[in-house]
Amino acid sequence: MNKAWGRWSKGNWLVGLAMLAGMMWSAPVLAAPDCDKAMAPQRCASYRQGWLSCSDLTAGSRRACIEQFTPALSCQRSRDARRCEALLAAQAACEGSEGLARRLCVRERLPAADCSRASDKARCEQRAAAEQSCAETAAQQGRECVRKALAPSGD
């Protein structure tokens, strides 16, 4: 067998099979979730909205993005009910797009930050402007962009 297959030891075969199995398991993760047969179809549909907004990102930044773009099942329990309802409406309005185009579509439909009750209104408005200007960047790069925009410019 070594002549036909080269110098593959039993351990190499196991590693090869493990890699093949890993590739087979990861492939379905890359597709949008199909909620027709889900045990919790509403939760699945909500997650799917977030997934469609973040499908173009890598695994690490995709998780944070999905968290940000997945609407809550019920906006009544949400900390910011107005933003929650706006996110639901924005996700519905942006149906048909995916990835960066969808994120930009959703973001332009979300209301501006409510700085009326902030302890430092100027800082709140400055942060909202920074987040708006960094809207096309995602996850860690987006946070770094906001941080740089908020940093005092020192020559």
Give the pTM.
Answer: 0.64
Give the model's pLDDT for residue 58. 83
Give the CA dihedral 64, 65, 70, 75, nearest 10 degrees: 70
Give the integer Cα–Cα distance in Å for 127 and 154: 18
Give the model's pLDDT for residue 57. 85
Which residue, among 75, 95, 73, has the nearest Cα to 85 in the 3D structure? 75
Residue 48 Cα distances to 72, 88, 95, 142, angstroms:
12, 12, 11, 22
Give the integer Cα–Cα distance in Å for 137 and 118: 25
Give the integer Cα–Cα distance in Å for 133 and 30: 29
**pLDDT in tens for each of the 155 residues of the chain?**
455 555 555 555 555 555 555 544 443 445 677 888 889 999 999 999 999 998 888 877 788 888 888 988 898 988 778 888 999 999 999 999 999 899 889 988 988 877 887 888 888 888 888 877 776 665 566 778 888 888 876 54
Q: Which token pair is 41?
A: 């179809």
Give the model's pLDDT for residue 91. 93
Which residue, among 101, 102, 124, has the nearest Cα to 112 in the 3D structure? 124
